[in-house]
Amino acid sequence: MAEQLILEGSTREERYRELYPQLQALLGAETDRIANLANMAAAFRQTFGFFWVGFYLVSGRELVLGPFQGDIACTRIPYGRGVCGDAWAKGMSLVVPDVDSYPGHIACSSLSRSEIVVPIRSVRGEVVGVLDVDSQELGDFTEEIDRPWLEQYVGLLAPLFP
Ligand code: SME
Is residue 45 lining ligand 1, measured as CB closer than 6 Å?
no
Alpha carbon distance 89, 107 (integer Å): 19
Residue nearest to atom 6 of ligand 1 (CA): 108
Position 1 pLDDT exceeds 60: no
Claim: this prediction has a pTM higher than 0.85: yes
Handedness of CA 62, 128, 27, 25 (dihedral sign): negative
Minimal-distance CA residue to ligand 1 atom 1: 106
Q: Is the CB of 87 under 6 A from ligand 1?
A: no
146 lines ligand 1 (CB under 6 A): no
Rounded to an integer, the average pLDDT of 141-161 is 98
Nearest CA among 118, 6, 19, 9 for reference residue 63: 118
Look at residue 108 in the predicted model and tell me its pLDDT: 87
DSSP conformational letter for 132: E
So what's the pLDDT on residue 123? 97
Work out the average pLDDT over 23-50. 97
What number of other Cβ atoms are within 10 A of residue 89's Cβ? Answer: 14
Q: Please work out whether the CB of residue 74 comes within 6 Å of at least one atom of ligand 1.
A: yes
Helices marked H in 49-141: 82-90
Domain ranges of the chain: 50-160
Gap from CA of 77 to ligand 1 centroid (Å): 8
Is 132's C-beta closer than 6 angstroms to any atom of ligand 1? Answer: yes
Is any ligand 1 atom within 6 A of the Cβ of residue 89? no
Superfamily of domain 50-160: GAF domain (3.30.450.40)
Find out whether 84 and 132 touch, Cβ atoms under 8 Å. yes
Question: Which of the listed residues 113, 134, 135 should we mutate to test ligand 1's pocket, taking the one with most ligand atoms within 8 A of CB?
Answer: 134
- Of ligand 1's atoms, which has the minimum distance to the CA of residue 102? 9
Over residues 62-72, the pLDDT tens digits come to 999 999 999 99
pLDDT band at 2 (very low <50, low <70, confident <90, very high): low
77 vs 64: CA distance, rounded Å? 7
